[in-house]
Amino acid sequence: MASGLPDYVASATPIPQKNRAPWYKNTAQTYAGIMLWFVFWSAVPVGDRAGGGPVSTFAGGTLAQGLLVGFLALIAAALACHFLFYLVPGLLGMKTGLPLYIVGTSTYGVQGGFLMPGFLMGLLQLGWVAVNAFFAAVLLCAPFGYAFPSIPHAIVAALWASVGMFIGLKGIKYVARVATFLPLVPLVILIVLLASTIGGLGAFDSDALVKTSQTAAPASQGALTTFGIFALLMTYVVGFFATAGAAGADFGMNNRDGRDVQLGGLVGIALATVFAGGVAMLVVAGAYGSGTAGTEKAVMDPTALMNGILGTKAGAVCMWLLALAAFPTVCISSFIAANCFKTTLPKVNPLVSCGIGVTVSIVLAVTGWAGDVMAVFSIIGASFGPVCGAMMGDYLLAGRKWAGPRSGWNLAGWISWVIGFAVGAVEFIAKIPGFEALAGKIPCPPVAAFIVGLVLYTILAKMGLESKTLEMPDTVSGAS
């Protein structure tokens, strides 16, 4: 074992070039499947769900200033995901052939890297399991007239999370056999919804939608400005994508070269994000333009409009199909969490650690906290914004390569993360008595957290707060 290296780093084996594949066989399709998850695109027109439901907190949601503004904001968010959050981790994975929890030891040290970003990645998966269970239960119960909060919703959400965790712990290989094809389900449903509503796009009036929202939901905070829509969509999309961006290292280690990394991200992340979110906005606009959306509740979630667009029976079938297509996602999140617990808590029976974990997920789902996706994604963005920022700073300082594992706890990484997290979580801190004045002071917390992580890591590194680099075994020539 190399001097000073813990076993989990010294035993790391890079993926050889002969085992790697083109971008369209791994990275692009996997990321596209993530962005086609109905939980993501269904909330793009809504922006911020009022009480976790299909109505926006803001009059007119992200369509308040029209489709063009909404699309431009979505494109900006998609490009931020690719260039800021995914690209450097992806290149690090490609250049080293090593996964995130190994390349992260350069930024956080071989001791600190055990927790960051590895353990944090696993811990946040419990939130993903909760979000998946909450919204899958919404779609599965809706055809029977039940919504959140209700006992049927709670039962379905609890069973969904429990079965997902069990399969993630024991049988993820069986889910993988069908997971490749299931993303086609939301893709087809989006196309069907667009074809059914495209005739109403010419009659869509954003001002009328804003007035409808204000009439149907008097408690609305009012329409967002153009800047507000950019900030909200950036916060939402980046927060949703943040953990997947850092996991770019795990995808990149299966890529052949930098071109694969770039194309995999541009197609699987940027293009898929604009397509899925953009079609969702077009569907809502077309539904209101054609009058099929109704006006009673100012619903802006395309999945909640499906009955009016396709009819009750077809809408119910689509709801079930979207929920079932999301099942592999909850299994994969559970799989990541289970691996994390088994790695970081080796002396604890996985059934115990995963049982505690899924209990947390169930509580978040049945209480409705997981339905507040802006809150969930804000926490995720606050957690991984500074991680991706610090990794970029570390990568650039090392000459666009992996610097190698660092000893102990790399203070430059940890200090930048703590301060970056505080910036990203400012809206939650503002809820603490005495800190109310901080509310609304940072317009896009996840991106702000990224910038803080990048700038602060660079400054601290130049001040000498990086710990020393340790030599990797000869089997790893990954700093290329």
Q: What was the pLDDT predicted at 343? A: 66
Residue by residue, DSSP assigns 150-214 as SHHHHHHHHHHHHHHHHHHHH-HHHHHHHHTTTTHHHHHHHHHHHHHHGGGGGG--HHHHHHHHH
CB 85 within 8 A of CB 245: yes
What are the distances in angstroms from CA 101 to CA 9, 105, 248, 323, 436?
A: 9, 7, 11, 31, 36
Report, as an integer, the average pLDDT of 284-292.
93
Q: What was the pLDDT predicted at 327? A: 86
> pLDDT tens-digit profile of 422-438?
999 999 999 999 889 99
Cα distance between residue 30 and residue 470, in whole Å = 33
Q: What was the pLDDT predicted at 217? A: 63
Report, as an integer, the average pLDDT of 26-51.
90
Judged against a pLDDT cut of 60, whether residue 221 lies above it is answered with yes
Strand partners, 56: 49
Q: So where are the chain's domains?
A: 23-462
Query: What dihedral angle (degrees, nearest 10) is formed by the CA atoms of 404, 408, 412, 417?
Result: 100
pLDDT band at 172 (very low <50, low <70, confident <90, very high): low
pLDDT band at 26 (very low <50, low <70, confident <90, very high): confident
Least confident of 166-180, 319-333, 367-381: 166-180
Least confident of 120-124, 139-143, 390-394: 120-124
pLDDT band at 480 (very low <50, low <70, confident <90, very high): very low
Cα distance between residue 264 and residue 84, in whole Å = 15
Q: What was the pLDDT predicted at 220? A: 65
Report, as an integer, the average pLDDT of 335-351.
74
Query: pLDDT exceeding 90 applies to what percent of the chain?
Result: 64
Q: What was the pLDDT predicted at 240? A: 93
pLDDT band at 341 (very low <50, low <70, confident <90, very high): confident
- Most confidently modeled range among 21-25, 79-83, 123-127, 171-175: 79-83
**445 vs 172, more confident:** 445
Judged against a pLDDT cut of 80, whether residue 261 lies above it is answered with yes
Judged against a pLDDT cut of 60, whether residue 49 lies above it is answered with yes
> pLDDT tens-digit profile of 232-244?
999 999 999 999 9
Q: What was the pLDDT predicted at 313? A: 93
- What region does 135 belong to: left with phi over 0, alpha with psi -120 to 50, or beta? alpha
pLDDT band at 473 (very low <50, low <70, confident <90, very high): confident
> Considering the domain 23-462, what is its CATH architecture?
Orthogonal Bundle (1.10)
Q: How far apart are the first and last CA of the chain?
A: 21
